[in-house]
Amino acid sequence: MGCCQNRDDSKIVLNHPEQYTKSLSTEINLDCISQDSLFFSSSTSDLNESAENSENSEKLLLMYLQSLNQRKKWEQLAPMMTNRTEVKSPNVFIPWAEKPKTIGSVALVYMGLAVKKFTTQVAPYIEVFLPVIVIFIKSGSKDLKDNALFLLHYYVDYASEKAINKILTMDTFSFLTKWILAPNNYLRTFTVILCYKLYKDRPNAKKDFIKVNGGFMLIQLIGWYSDNDSLGQFLSYLEELVTENCETIIKDNIEMTSEPLTINILKGINPCTKPIETKVLLEKMVRIYS
């Protein structure tokens, strides 16, 4: 996934006003951060207060984030995800997502891009802020939702099982499933892939996903993509949901996802023009639900 960055490739040297220096360069101790402090840390409050009194605050902060990203200062970039300072002209954004409207949203984009390239370095700092990221997806503004989802989508590939469990215990499926059928193609694709990553090889997570109607949402999505190259991919997500190791059928999961339209959707897909792998998988799903 690409991004648009209006950035100077030359090294950025910033001469920060004195009032920024202390709050922006504070090191964080991963073992000592409480969930409450993620929202209301004194450094963030000081920074917001200073920003209101500076005409160049947006430019300075954006340059500062860019500099942190270039210098791989993830321990300083991660806390900026909670910063609420408004921005009008973000210097980095994801083409399909709502453009960042706050410094925190810009930081989410940087961290999402970084975790793909510097996984082991970045992932521990993201884990600290998982409660914040999940809350952004659940009830944040449109830009926070989109960019937090973008970040989480890539983070879970490298997350520890402990971190995955933390995400799941926050009832994440209950609001993620709302976007499986979103109008934005990229948003629904990122969402369904994220859900799959979270429930794959996790029996309890599969049941949680199904309980919030995720299974039937997935089946509807399969119907939408009946003539799309992604059909085989989404059929494999359904196979994972209702079987164990793609072999043993999980009867309870079949029953809970067997709505009146389920078999009609699956049988309504023409297998003749599909790749052999997709055709075999489609026929398997039809047999399971018949």
Which has the closest alpha carbon to 277: 247, 233, 246? 233
159 and 179 together in one domain: no
Q: What is the pLDDT of residues 90-118, one digit of tens each?
A: 999 999 999 999 999 999 999 999 999 99
Query: In the structure, what pLDDT confidence band is assigned to residue 30 with cuts at 50, 70 and 90?
Result: very low
Q: Is 136 found in the same domain as 32? A: yes
Same domain, 164 and 206: no
pLDDT at 247: 87
Model's pTM, two decimal places? 0.80
Confidence of residue 159 (pLDDT cuts 50, 70, 90): very high
Same domain, 154 and 35: yes
Residue 259 and residue 267: Cα distance in Å, rounded?
Answer: 14
Would you say how long the chain is, in residues? 290
Asked if residue 20 and residue 47 are part of one domain, the reply reads yes
Choose the final residue of a domain: 170, 185, 206.
170
- Do residues 236 and 284 both lie within one domain? yes
Total tally of structural domains belonging to the chain: 2
Domain stops at, among 119, 153, 170: 170
Whether residue 20 sits in one domain with residue 113:
yes
Express each pLDDT in 115-149 by its tens digit. Answer: 999 999 999 999 999 999 999 999 999 999 999 99
Q: Are residues 224 and 99 in the same domain?
A: no
Specify the CATH number for the domain of residue 187: 1.25.10.10
Q: Both 28 and 113 in a single domain?
A: yes
For 165, what's the count of Cα atoms within 13 Å in the CB-facing half-sphere? Answer: 3
Question: Is residue 160 domain-shared with residue 203, that is, in the same domain?
Answer: no
Query: Do 63 and 195 fall into the same domain?
Result: no
What is the pLDDT, as a whole number, of residue 255?
95
Tell me, rounded to whole angstroms, the distance of Cα 283 from its chain centroid: 32
- Same domain? For 60 and 14 the reply is yes
- State which residues form the domain around 276: 172-290
